[in-house]
Structure 1
Amino acid sequence: MEHFQIHSVFHNCYASLWVRDIYKTEKDILDKVLDRSKYDLRIVPRHYNETAKRTQPAIVRTNMYIRGIEYISVDNMAYKIQMTFRQQWNDNRLAFDDMNGQIRYLVLDDSTRLWIPDTFFSNSWSTQSHTDIKPNVLFRIYPNGNVLFSKRITATLSCPMDLKYYPFDTQICSIQMANVYTTADLVLLWKVGDPVQVTKNLIIKEFKLDKYSTAYCTSKTNIQFSRITAKYLVQWFVTTAMLTFISFLSFLIKSNNSSRIKFLVTILLMLYTHIIVINMWSDAKVPYFIAKDWWFMWCANFTLAAIIEFAIVKAIDYN
Structure 2
Amino acid sequence: MRRVSLVLDQLLKTYDKSVRPGGEEGPLIIKTNMLVRSMGPITETKMAYSLQCYLRQSWYDQRLKFDLDNITEVTLSNTFLKDIWKPNTYFLNGRLSTQPNITVPNVFVRIRKNGSIYMSRRLTLNAGCPLNLLNYPMDDPVCPLLLAGYGYTTDEVVYQWQAPSEAAVDIYDDVTLSQFDIVSIWTKNNTYSNAIGTYSGLEVHFHLRRHIGFFMLQTYLPCTLIVCLSWVSFWINRDAAPARVLLGVTTILSTAAVGLVQRDSLPRVPYATALDLFLNVCIFYNLAAIVQYAAVNYFTKILPKEGGLSEDEDEEMNNSTSGNNLVAWKVGKSTQTMCPALFCKCLLGNFRFRNKMVETADVMSGNSVSSIDIWSRYLFPCSFGLFQAFYWTWFLRLTL
What do the CA deviations read for 1:272-302 (whole angstroms, capped 9, x no partner)?
Answer: 33333443x4334323211111111100101
For the pair 1:202 / 2:175, whether they are aligned, the reply is: yes
How big is each residue's C-alpha offset from its partner over 1:185-234, in whole Å with a ceiling of 9 and x where there is no partner? 11011102421111111122322222110014451111112222211111
Instruction: Report the Cα offset of residue 47 of structure 1.
Output: 6.0
- Kept after mapping to 1: 8 A contact 2:22/2:62: no
Matches of 1:274 and 1:79 in 2, distance apart?
Answer: 26
Find runs of 4+ consecutive structure 1 residues off by over 4 angstroms: none
Give the C-alpha shift of residue 239 in structure 1. 0.2
Alignment of 1:33 with 2:6, yes or no, is no
Which residue number corresponds to residue 236 of structure 1? 219
RMSD: 1.8
Mapped partners of 1:225, 1:84: distance in 2: 21
Between 256-265 and 245-254, the greater mean CA deviation after superposition: 256-265
Contact 1:163-1:284 at 8 Å conserved across structures: no
Count of aligned pairs between the two proteins: 286
Q: Return the match for 2:152 from 181, 186, 190.
A: 181
- Kept in 2: contact 1:157–1:175 (CA 8 A): yes
How far apart in 1 are the matches of 2:260 and 2:125? 34
**Shift in Å, 1:138:** 0.8
**Residue 226 of structure 2 aligns to a residue in which SS?**
helix
Aligned residue for 1:7? Answer: none
Question: In the alignment, which residue of structure 2 is the partner of 1:250?
Answer: 233
1:45 is matched with which residue? 21
Structure 2 residue runs of 5 or longer lacking an equivalent are: 191-200, 302-356, 358-400
Residues 98 and 72 of structure 1: is their aligned pair in 2 closer, same or farther, counting only changes over 3 Å?
Answer: same
SS state at 2:87 partner: coil
Structure-2 residue corresponding to 1:18: none
Deviation at 1:126, TM superposition (A): 1.7
Q: Residue 39 of structure 2: SS of its match in structure 1?
A: strand
d(CA) in 1 for partners of 2:225 and 2:3? 77
TM-score, L = length of structure 2: 0.68
Q: How far, CA to CA, are the matches of 1:174 and 1:24 in structure 2?
A: 45
Look up the match of 2:329. Answer: none
> Quick check: 1:295 aligned with 2:278?
yes
Identify the residue that residue 75 of structure 2 maps to in structure 1.
107
Deviates more, 1:257-266 or 1:287-296: 257-266
Map Cα deviations across residues 31-71 of structure 1 (whole Å, 9 max, x no partner): 22222x2x2221111166xxxxxx31110001111111242
CA distance in 2 between counterparts of 1:297 and 1:61 reads 51
Partners of 1:152 and 1:128 lie apart in 2 by: 9
Give the distance between the partners of 1:312 and 1:257, measured in 2 at CA. 14
Structure 2 Cα separation of the partners of residues 315 and 248 of structure 1:
19
Whole-Å separation in 2 of the counterparts to 1:78 and 1:278: 18
Counterpart AA for 1:106: V
Separation (CA, whole Å) in 2 of partners of 1:121 and 1:132: 22
Using the TM superposition, give the Cα deviation of residue 177 of structure 1 relative to its aligned residue in structure 2, in angstroms.
0.8
Identity %: 29
Amino acid at match of 1:272: A
**Is the contact made by 1:30 and 1:106 (CA closer than 8 Å) also made in structure 2?**
no
Which residue matches 2:350?
A: none
Between the two structures, name the one with larger relative contact order (CA 8 Å, sep ≥ 6).
1
Q: Secondary structure at the match of 2:98?
A: strand
Match of 2:259 in 1: 275
2:44 to 71, 74, 80: 74
Q: TM-score, normalised by structure 1?
A: 0.84
Matched to 1:41, the amino acid is: K
- Rg larger for: 2
Q: Which residue of 1 aligns with 2:304?
A: none
Structure 1 partner of 2:105: 135
> What residue number does 1:170 align with?
140
Q: Deviations over 1:89-125 (max 9, x none)?
A: 11112112242xx213012222111110111111112
Kindly indicate which of the two structures has a greater share of residues assigned to helix. Answer: 2
For residues 5 and 118 of structure 2, the distance between their equivalents in structure 1, rounded to whole angstroms, comes to: 18
* Residue identity in the other structure for 1:190: W
Give 1 or 2: higher strand fraction.
Answer: 1
